[in-house]
Structures are given as structure tokens and as C-alpha cells.
A and B are shown apart, each in its own frame.
Chain A
């Protein structure tokens, strides 16, 4: 492991050392190789984008990071220490939260309750205490509710506080899902296509929220996104994947001028 180096982005944020490091990850589903020998790192405080055409293995990569998939080869290093295979809920306790490509909210529950579930990892009181609703459980609820209300305020979704999320338009559901992930107060936030299916205005809103999360809470963010314009605007560094392989890695400008990336996106005859 190298000595921790920090650098400053053009807009004045300080990027620290790696918080998460993938080393030679290979993931197979039977005979299908989803990810092939990929290495890259995510540094503290940065916005790291993973891009690539459909089926490039982006979501699988995110699933490896949050412990849903276990790679056949390679290792994941958490703050320089090798991470033992863990279940997703254990990883959640390590301060990693995520959103999903296909919204995974509790449709019948209100926005408030959905975001409250994100506080689960911070609740310590037992079932009995909750049934009796005395002392610890009650205090905990008040503390957590305040944290959730601050997130609601942050994401500007006060109007839909009590609305069942199933009734909300898609763009707002995505915002609620971001809220739930934020409620866990993650150190690392994984966003799987946060802007898929949104119109320009919704994308602008979401981009602002992502930048604000990074800025206000200092949260490290790794995101998958198809919209190149958005990625180039908000990401500090970009990993490009194609057919399970890494074909580019660097700042948006570097990636933009990378011939392999251009080929993958514009299409060339494959040998």
C-alpha cells in the first residue's frame, strides 16, 4: 500500500487516500464472465463514476462492492485492509449505502417511513422496548426522526412527507431512495443509475443533490450513469468498462480523449 497522498480538485475540494480498492476482480456466473480482472480505487471525498455500454458489468461491480456478489478472484481492500467476505447487511454497518437501478422502496409506506428504514443500522433498542414504547425506544425515535427530517429538508421533499411512495412520480421516488441511503449516514454512497429515465430538469436537480451531498456531508460517492454529459460534469474520476473489462480510468478529460472509450461508445468492428 502506498503512502496516503491527497490532492485538490479544480473546485477546491480535498480528495484523500483510497477508501475502497478493487484488486484484480473477476466475477463469473457459470460460464459467463461478468467482470474480468478489474482493478481500481475509490478515494475519500471524491465522486467516482463507472460508465460503460449495456452489459459491461457496471451493476455487478457495485454488487461486489456492497458484498452482494463475491468475486471468484481478486480482493477488495477497505481502507487498505483486505475485506473478508461479508453479507450485505454487515457491509451496510461498515458505512456503505446504496440505491438501486430499479427503485427498491416500500411502495405502500410513506416517504417519511421509507427514509426512516434507512436509520435501521443506527437503532439499538430492542423489540420489547419498542412494544412498550418507553425510554430508549422513544428517545431513539425522536433523535432519528430529526435526522430524517433534515434529510427531507435537504432533498426538498417536505410536500410528500406523508405520501405513499407508490403514488409518486419516478423522479421523486429516485429522490426518496437517495434519502433512504443518506439516512444511513454512509461514508461511501453507491448510486446505481440515479438519473435513469429522468427528464433534463429532474437530472439537473439530481446532479445538484449529488454534488451537495458530496460537499455538505463529505460523502464519497461511486455512481453508475449512462448520461455522459452528467458524468463528465459531476465526476472527479471515471472508470470505463466494456464487456467486463476496464478500458479507461482517469479524469473526465482523459477518458474523453481515450481511443478505446470512443470506440466502445461509437462502435467499431470487434475482431
Chain B
């Protein structure tokens, strides 16, 4: 790591970058938020004033260097300022998932002994007041939205703007102290602590230094030539490392504009109004967008529909080559231009992607058709591979070398090696400092030379030098006969069908594989509507024989494709059922980032699993569900179990 150059000392902390931006790009928009129907905006100079006022207010409240400040709210400029202000006074911001239930939030606040919390509104304040008795360290709580807060006891509660006001009033008193702390910041100071979503076990606090974040921001910004003229839409959870690197580190480093949507529900609309040039979304988002386009095209008029399909066909053929700068005949180029005018342009404009220069997706495998669809329209959508412990970037795809099945080459300054058992290890300037109050886990993950275990199994392709990820190393198991069991591989293939939202494949240590399927209500519901199939509930639709037929067909297609690969031959799904409820993070079945929690599902739906393996053709189940307000209820159903055709080994050998 000593080979990597240090940062310029004038730019080695977030507050220094803020001041630089305020000087250099003073009149350029730094933050925008849609509120009251229009985009409110703040320039870098204005943002600096807001942040400094809050930092002075923090000093007035007695905030010390090293104090932890919990941040809970949806993406709003106020929370980005709160993080900057905390860094200004030498404190450590700890963004937490604002939709976490009270106990989850209490665990994090207690674990980091947060002394301050900056939250959005009454809902978050109530959540904290509920668990206040378990949080003896929590001293002061700030809230942004005053609504409904008038009657609360304000001895330890403060409105965000009144803290800023107090800071402005007492500027003379606290400015020298603020200047001292500003100058005292070093690149090794902790700039943020992020809690991992915790696919297994309790979340862990990942401690990041300013150097980790800013060096990574610098490298990634240079890789994609990001500048102050770019803009992003900040809509991913603030507690996630990605939002911190995009909306904080890269934004401060390059000075680009961070746009905050009006609410989570209006995100799509706001995306269209802003048209970001740099955009990140999980594969799920791109899948959902494509599904909705296809559904809407089904309802369009005949002429439009034919035009859409004809030009999309053409785009599929030449679009990716055009994007990669490969030679394309003049006729094809011309036709593509006409298509751009008639179809691609208007479509991209509707989706809010027309200005997109660089787009990334990561987190899960993306279906090749989905990936190609966007690229053929001229969107430079690329994949990256990363994790919280690396400040996101481990590998990423350079322009012109983009493929659906790889995750690219190592990012700048990142070293990657594959261990003997196939696990991916990396070492980079972004490697985290430690897990907070957890030296054992730190030692397990990061060795003395700074190599970090990803927990993923993968390999480098010989000719392209690109990394391919197979699955979580610990999820790749063995079946009873010793053949390889890679559930994620099969699940991803299943999830590429628009009708299937989620799939969980079982089979470790067993003779054959089985699967739970979640239907996608948007796609299947639309299909039902067009085919005059009446249904009263999700449960009823999920159990409809015709729906089961469709899902069975999908499974058989996947079986055929899985059987192509000799190593994964055993992963064909023999029996399946369609779940009566959507897997949900509130019920603990998914993580907050919507990854399947295999073990919990296995335990919870034990009855169903037994049914899948004992040969019965239906099974009764009663499941507890948690509503959004935390109350619990239960739903019960009798689910049909079906067999899916599998490819026999001898046919394969004959072929």
C-alpha cells in the first residue's frame, strides 16, 4: 500500500474539499432537492454556509472530536450537510437505515454509543424515544421536519434550523474552535462509520478513514472522468456505502451536483426531470424499468408497437458496437439515427436516462438481455464489483470492454488475487480500518498484509483478464452425491424472467434441488388482467394453476440451460412451489438491501421444505407477517407443489 501516492494535503478531508468547492465552484449548484413542487437548489458557497452554521451549532451543543453522530433520514441535503458538519468538528457520522424498526436502530445506536442523532421527522424521533432507555449515551436529538413536534419536551430535542441559528448567532464565540478543529483533521481520521446490512448475524460497523474514502473517490472519478459538470440522483439508502461514495466522497471530490428526490415514491418522476449524467442502480431497478416499458408497449397502438419492436431489433444488432466505437456500416448507422429520433430518444427521455454518460449496476448478476437492452439504446451501462469494506470499488468495467457476465478488471490501485479454494481477495487504498469494537472479525477478514477476503468465489478469465463471480463462497455447497451446488447461479437465471421476482433454491446435502418462487405482481398481474383472470389477492394469484404452469415452463427452460454446464448439472430444480407471500425485509427474510437470507427462510418455511422433499403434492402453511407499523399478523395457505421436467444425463451425453 505504500506504493500508492498520498493525497494532496490541501484536499485530504471532506471539510477542506467543501471549502475548495465553495471557492472554486462557488456559483455552481451543489445540492438540489425537490420540495413544494419545484427544485430548490443550493450552490457550493451556500452549502458551505449551511454546513458551517450547523458545525458551529454542534459546538454549541458540546460535540467533541470522535463523538458518533447517527444520521437517519431519506436522502436530503440536510443530512449530507449534517455529515459534513460532523466531520468539520471532528466527529464521526454514522448513517443508519431510516426504515429500520426501533430495535434494529437501537442496536446500532447502542453499539456505536452515539451521543447525537440527526433525524428526519416525528416518526424517527418517536422511534428513538421508544428505545431511549436502552441508549444511555444518547444526549441530543436533532430533527429536520418540525411538523407535529411542538408538544414534545425540548430539553434534549432540537430543530435542525434552530441549531444552525444558534451557531450563526454564536459565530464569534465558536469560530476559533471550529478553525482549530478544521486544521487538526488528518487523512487518518475516521470520516464515517457504515453498518453492513448483515446478511448473516448482527450488523458490523465498518470504520473508514478520510484517506480510504477520498483516495477511492479520486481514483474512481478519474477512471470515469467525472467532473463538476456531472450530476447524480441521490436515492439509495444513506446508510449504504454506495451512497456515501457517490453523494459524499465523489461529489465533494469533483464538485458535481447531488439531486435529492421529493420522496421515495416520486423517484422515477424526479429521475426524469433531472436526467442525471452519472447514475447507479441495482440490477433490480433496471429490470423493473424494462418490465414496465414492455408492459406499457403491450398497451400501445399497433403502429407504435411495430415501430418499437422493429427499431429495437436494429438497436440490439448495432447499438452495442456503436457504443464501443466498433466499425458499423453507413446504412446501419443511418437506420440507428432514425431509430434514435423515432424510438430510442423519446424512450430514454421518458425513462430519465437521456443525459446519462456513465451508469453502473452492481450487487447482483444482471440478466444479459436486460443489460444488452440498455446498452443497445446507447446507454453506457457498466458493471462493477465491490463491497463496503473496500469503499465499493474492487473491479469495474472500462469503457469499451463491457459484458454482462463479468464484473471487469481491478479498479485503479486495487490488487486482486484468487485463493486456492477460489475465494477472491483484494488489497487497496480503500480497504477499511477495522470493524468497530470487533477485533476478531477484523482479524478474520483482513490479514496483516492488508488482504481482505470477499467471501465470494470467482475466477479471472484467461483471455480478457476480467473477473467472473460465481457465488458467495460459503453458499457454494455440495449435494449428497458430491456435485457442486451453486444456488445463486440458478436463482439469477430464474429471476431474469419478468414473472419471477425472487427465487430461493435448496439442495445442499440433498439428492436433488427444489425451489421457492415469488411471482412479480406487476408482471403477473398485468398478464392476468389481459387474460381476464380474476384474482382477489396476491395469494390467490400466486396459487392460480395457469400461473403455476407459466412458472413451471420457466423452470424447465432454466433446467435445460443449467444442464448445459457439466459442473452444475446437479443444480436442476426438480420440484418447486410458489410462495403465498412476498419475501420481505420487515419479516427478516431479506436484508434491507433486498438480499435473500437463506438460513432464516429455511427455518421459517421448514414445513414447506419438508413438503418439497417428501413427495406430497400440496402443503399447508401458516406464516407470521409484520406490517409496516410493526404490528404482527398471520396468513395461512395451502400451496400446490409441482414437479418440473429435468434433463437426463444420458441425453446430454448422446447430444
Which residues on A are within 8 Å of B, measured CB to CB?
11-12, 112, 145-146, 149-150, 152-154, 156, 158-159, 161, 201, 212, 215-216
A150 to B36, CA, bound (A): 6
- Residue of B whose beta carbon sits closest to that of A204: B629
A146 to B148, CA, bound (A): 21
B32 to nearest A CB, angstroms?
16
Which B residues, 117 to 152, have Cβ-Cβ distances below 8 Å to chain A?
Answer: 147-148, 150-151
- Residue of A whose beta carbon sits closest to that of B267: A159
A166 to nearest B CB, angstroms?
19
Q: Which residues of B contact A11 (CB under 8 A)?
A: 151
Q: Is B522 an interface position by the 8 A CB rule?
A: no
Q: Tell me if B266 and A159 are in contact (CB < 8 A).
A: yes
Which B residues, 249 to 276, have Cβ-Cβ distances below 8 Å to chain A?
Answer: 262-263, 265-266, 269
Q: Tell me if A215 and B37 are in contact (CB < 8 A).
A: no
11 additional A-B pairs beyond A156-B263, A158-B263, A159-B263, beta carbons within 8 Å, are A12-B151, A145-B37, A149-B36, A149-B37, A149-B38, A152-B36, A153-B36, A154-B147, A159-B269, A161-B37, A215-B150
A12 to B629, CA, bound (A): 27
- Residue of A whose beta carbon sits closest to that of B262: A158
Q: Tell me if B266 and A216 are in contact (CB < 8 A).
A: no
Q: Tell me if B37 and A212 are in contact (CB < 8 A).
A: no
A268 to nearest B CB, angstroms?
36
Give 13 pairs: A residue, B residue, CB < 8 Å, sorted on A.
A11-B151, A146-B36, A149-B36, A149-B38, A150-B36, A152-B36, A153-B35, A153-B36, A154-B147, A159-B269, A161-B37, A215-B150, A216-B148
A202 to nearest B CB, angstroms?
13
A11 to B147, CA, bound (A): 16
Q: Tell me if B265 and A152 are in contact (CB < 8 A).
A: no
Q: Tell me if A212 and B147 are in contact (CB < 8 A).
A: yes
A158 to B268, CA, bound (A): 13
Q: Which one of A153, A212, A215, A216 has the greatest number of beta carbons of chain B within 10 Å?
A: A153
Q: Which residues of B contact A159 (CB under 8 A)?
A: 263, 265-266, 269
Q: Which one of A112, A159, A161 has the greatest number of beta carbons of chain B within 10 Å?
A: A159
A201 to B150, CA, bound (A): 24
Q: Which residues of A contact B36 (CB under 8 A)?
A: 146, 149-150, 152-153
Which residues on B are within 8 Å of A, measured CB to CB?
35-38, 147-148, 150-151, 262-263, 265-266, 269, 629
A149 to B150, CA, bound (A): 22
Q: Tell me if A152 and B37 are in contact (CB < 8 A).
A: yes
A55 to B236, CA, bound (A): 52
Q: Tell me if B148 and A212 are in contact (CB < 8 A).
A: yes
Q: Which residues of B contact A146 (CB under 8 A)?
A: 36
A12 to B152, CA, bound (A): 11
Q: Tell me if B147 and A216 are in contact (CB < 8 A).
A: yes
Q: Tell me if A215 and B35 are in contact (CB < 8 A).
A: no
A158 to B37, CA, bound (A): 8
A216 to B148, CA, bound (A): 7
Q: Tell me if B266 and A158 are in contact (CB < 8 A).
A: yes
B497 to nearest A CB, angstroms?
29
Q: Which residues of A contact B266 (CB under 8 A)?
A: 158-159
A-B residue pairs, 9 tightest by C-beta: A149-B36, A149-B37, A159-B265, A158-B262, A159-B266, A158-B266, A158-B263, A212-B148, A153-B36
- Residue of A whose beta carbon sits closest to that of B270: A158
A154 to B148, CA, bound (A): 11
B285 to nearest A CB, angstroms?
18
B525 to nearest A CB, angstroms?
16
Q: Which residues of B contact A156 (CB under 8 A)?
A: 263
A11 to B262, CA, bound (A): 32
- Residue of A whose beta carbon sits closest to that of B35: A153
A146 to B40, CA, bound (A): 13
A112 to B263, CA, bound (A): 17
A146 to B265, CA, bound (A): 21
A114 to B38, CA, bound (A): 19
Q: Which residues of A contact B38 (CB under 8 A)?
A: 149
B352 to nearest A CB, angstroms?
16
Q: Which residues of B contact A112 (CB under 8 A)?
A: 37
Q: Which residues of B contact A153 (CB under 8 A)?
A: 35-36
Q: Which residues of B contact A154 (CB under 8 A)?
A: 147
Q: Which one of B36, B38, B263, B265 has the greatest number of beta carbons of chain A within 10 Å?
A: B36
Q: Which residues of B contact A215 (CB under 8 A)?
A: 148, 150-151
Q: Which residues of A contact B37 (CB under 8 A)?
A: 112, 145, 149, 152, 158, 161
Q: Which residues of B contact A212 (CB under 8 A)?
A: 147-148
B224 to nearest A CB, angstroms?
32
A161 to B266, CA, bound (A): 10
- Residue of B whose beta carbon sits closest to that of A161: B37
Q: Which residues of A contact B262 (CB under 8 A)?
A: 158
A68 to B417, CA, bound (A): 81
A154 to B121, CA, bound (A): 13
- Residue of A whose beta carbon sits closest to that of B151: A12
Q: Which residues of A contact B629 (CB under 8 A)?
A: 201
- Residue of A whose beta carbon sits closest to that of B150: A215
A193 to B38, CA, bound (A): 33
Q: Which residues of A contact B265 (CB under 8 A)?
A: 158-159
A212 to B37, CA, bound (A): 21
A216 to B149, CA, bound (A): 10
B167 to nearest A CB, angstroms?
26
- Residue of B whose beta carbon sits closest to that of A11: B151
Q: Which residues of A contact B147 (CB under 8 A)?
A: 154, 212, 216
A12 to B269, CA, bound (A): 41
B377 to nearest A CB, angstroms?
26
A150 to B38, CA, bound (A): 11
B575 to nearest A CB, angstroms?
37
A153 to B34, CA, bound (A): 11
A159 to B268, CA, bound (A): 10
A231 to B5, CA, bound (A): 68
Q: Which residues of B contact A150 (CB under 8 A)?
A: 36
